[in-house]
Amino acid sequence: MNTQRKKLELVCPAGGLPALKAAVDNGADSVYFGFKDATNARNFTGLNFDLAQIQEGIAYAHERGRKVLLALNTFPLASNQPDWNVAVDSAAELQVDAVIMADPGLMAYAARVHPQLRLHLSVQGSATSYEAINYYHERFGIQRVVLPRVLSLAQVEQLAANTPVQIEVFGFGGLCVMVEGRCALSAYATGKSPNCNGACSPDQYVRWEQTPRGMETRLNGILIDRYADDERAGYPTLCKGRFTVKDETYYAIEEPASLNTLELVPELARVGVSAIKIEGRQRNPAYVAQVTKVWRAALDAFAAEQERFAVREAWMAELNKVSEGQSHTLGAYYRPWK
């Protein structure tokens, strides 16, 4: 695909109204957010929007020519399906620009009751083949898919070449070792599934305790990590904990690092990606402002320079300041052994 005149949409997180405004003010093309309930996959205390905040946020974004995307990307159960249907009704009434969904039953409801509502397939839908993506498009009218962070660039290119659906990929932020939508680690430890309750490591199960051996973080009583006085204590998730294995203590599942695909921008455009998503609805407005500002500068530079585009050291330095473990990776996109 010719990258000339190719414009990549910048999609940024909004865990609250200040973060939404920070994203818009620093150059986001679109912002994504959720209600204050289990209908979205960042259902944490202190995050998300009530009705008044949503209305203010939508007005703020639309007045500045930006789009608002609502995440309804968890899976309802038979006992609470009506709550998710009401959320779809609210999305249509609020006139959001798109709803990001994972559950096929909910998509069927949206397509039937609100056919004018634009639908995006969430990363929680775990669609990793063009056959799956095309099924959602043909059956429910999905217009865009957010791809799981487990695909190589070659696989992304194959998907884009075989579907009319727009492709959105994660460009920066936290990683997940699982195919999104299929993780059971947090549910195993707490009994509450992040796919249904909206929170990986729900806050009611999280404990920090200062001990003679350091700051300990636990999830439902399970020791996740122990930090020295000069270390920054992270949020306890099972996949990013340090565990003792055969008398050696280390990050046994995944080391803290952020996905950062800044150097892949020309390749992402070439293979047919339409939008770059920044992860981080659980992060503060300062993080949103800093990351959005850097990515806006980078995408504008690529639009102007095309084949002459080069990553600036200052951009990487700014992003590393807010990366997990202050380090970054290209994740699954880059696989030199293939």
Predicted structure pTM score: 0.90
Non-local CB neighbours of 138 within 8 Å, separated by 6+ positions: none
Which has the minimum average pLDDT: 6-15, 128-137, 157-166, 227-236?
227-236
**Model pLDDT, residue 125:** 93
What pLDDT, in 10s, does the model give residues 319-337? Answer: 999 987 667 888 878 766 4
Burial of 83 (0-12, 13-18, 19+ CB in 10 A): middle
**Model pLDDT, residue 3:** 40
Element (H, E) at 72: strand 67-72
Q: How far apart are CA 262 and CA 301, in angstroms?
A: 12
b/e burial code for range 59-73 (CB count within 10 A of at least 16 → b): ebbeeeebbbbbbbb
Spelled out in words, what is the top-level CATH class assigned to the domain 9-175+257-333? alpha beta
Banded model confidence at residue 2, pLDDT cuts 50, 70, 90: very low
What would the mean pLDDT of 80-104 be, rounded to a whole number? 96
Average pLDDT across the chain, whole number: 91
What pLDDT, in 10s, does the model give residues 189-248? Answer: 888 888 888 788 888 899 999 999 999 999 999 999 999 988 877 778 888 888 889 989
Domain spans in the chain, listed from the N-terminal domain onward? 9-175+257-333, 185-251
pLDDT of 5 strictly over 70: no
pLDDT of 338 strictly over 80: no
DSSP secondary-structure letter at 167?
Answer: E
Q: How many CB atoms lie within 10 A of CB 115?
A: 9
**Model pLDDT, residue 6:** 66
Share above pLDDT 70 across residues of the chain, in percent, rounded to a whole number: 96
b/e burial code for range 261-277 (CB count within 10 A of at least 16 → b): bbebbbbbbbbbbbbbb
- DSSP count for the chain of H helices, then E strands: 11, 15
Residue 249 or 132, more confident = 132
